[in-house]
Amino acid sequence: METTDSRSSRRNRRFWAWSIVTCVLALGACLTAAAVGAGDGPRTRPSPARDRPVAGAPANPAAGQPAPPGVSTKQTKPVPAYWKSSLADVQQCLAQVRKGKVEVLAQSAGGRTIHLVSYGRARDSQSQATYNSACGADNPAWYANKPAGTPPTVLLLGPVHGHEFEGIAGLIDLIHLVETGADLRGRPWPRLLENFQKCRVLIVPCANPDGRARVPLDSFVGEEAATNAYYGVGTFADGRPQGWPQVKQRQPMVGDVGFLGAYFNDAGVNLMHDDWFGRMAPETDAILDLARREAVDYGVSLHSHGTYAQMLQTDYMDPGCQEKVIVLSERMSRRFAGMKQRLSAIRRAAVTERPPGQRTPASFNLCSALHHVCGATMMLYENSCGSKGYYQIDHADILDLQMAFFEELLAFAAENPVVWKR
């Protein structure tokens, strides 16, 4: 016959058995979580939009695939000693920076490092709102307080399309000038240096190292236009060229791909046309975060094409900022004419209405997004690349025009500081 004491003893044994099992399971879960998270550091839960997977392209999608006939697979024209446009050149330049500060801005989709070089003192913007919210409060100073006398902050964004490396060469030349007092050809550019010192300057030498690593050439001067197109926009799996602007019909560029053009990072994302409401690329995340925290006043995204150099306005930007870009473009046109060079007429952006005959809205691109996170006057500068069949230009002229552009941009920023007061 079972007594009350024996039943109580059995219940106690069951209780302690279950307690031990529960503790063991909990301890196992903790150890598993620790093993998975080891070395990751603190985590934050990403938003559902950023959590969605993006189909990745192989890091070297052209491995073993021969280039089409007529496309150069190595540099066929001599490159001057002062022309520095490779990822190795960027690393060598950064190692010599003493007056500026070098830091890691981000890791690319392919695991390559994107660097930021900053000059001048970072300001305390006393921010208590996003730019969007501050505009809703009818005063952007709640996002960034900029009293009179605040040095302007200028962002010089190196190429987001990896084959448009003229911008890399120009930014390396600029960094060398600031560090040594002369550019890589020994020229001093005193006016540029004078206005550089009046600004906080942020330089991203190469915003898409994945794309740059895919191109074996360091220059397109004197190369066939087909070579530029091949490395820029890539091919379908059967070898047909993707073509421009048709290459923008897929984002990300995955699937029917032979050679993945340098337009894209290793995940196939064209950084100029990310999904701004659920961003796809770590590179654009970092660029926008940089502009936001620095409250950038003026910025340029450096690109390249075959024809004359050109400035492009940014769509969906405040009309006051639009007008500044027009004024600066007119100054640049006069400056280029004095150098016996040509700046193509600016394409005036559509602010509220579509241009006549335009059936689709203008693209809300990286420059548009940068304006909307910080209120900056954003513009796009197209370098001439010097490919055959287009505008013939040499390496020295490309750098002269780009340095002249930097000089005028910094002078304009110093003359027209943004003042936002609370």
What structural domains and CATH numbers belong to the chain? 90-304+364-415 (3.40.630)
d(CA 358, CA 245): 15
Is beta strand 153-157 parallel, antiparallel or unpaired with respect to 298-305? parallel
Which amino acid appears at position 247 of this protein? V
Phi, psi of 286 (to 5 degrees): -70, -40
Angle at 208 between CA 399 and CA 212, to 5 degrees: 70
Token pair for 72:
């150069």
- pTM comes to 0.85
Point out which residues pair with 202 in neighbouring strands: 118, 155
Token pair for 272:
């100029």
Q: What is the pLDDT along the chain (422 residues), one digit of tens a residue?
A: 434 344 444 444 444 444 443 443 444 444 333 333 333 333 233 333 344 334 344 444 444 467 888 899 999 888 999 999 999 999 999 999 999 999 999 999 999 999 999 999 999 999 999 999 999 999 999 999 999 999 999 999 999 999 999 999 999 999 999 999 999 999 999 999 999 999 999 999 999 999 999 999 999 999 999 999 999 999 999 999 999 999 999 999 999 999 999 999 999 999 999 999 888 899 999 999 999 999 999 999 999 999 999 999 999 999 999 999 999 999 999 999 999 998 998 876 554 455 666 667 788 999 999 999 999 999 999 999 999 988 889 999 999 999 999 999 999 999 999 999 99
Cβ contact 244:255 at 8 Å: no
Query: How remote is the C-alpha of 403 from its chain's centroid?
Result: 20
d(CA 377, CA 346): 15
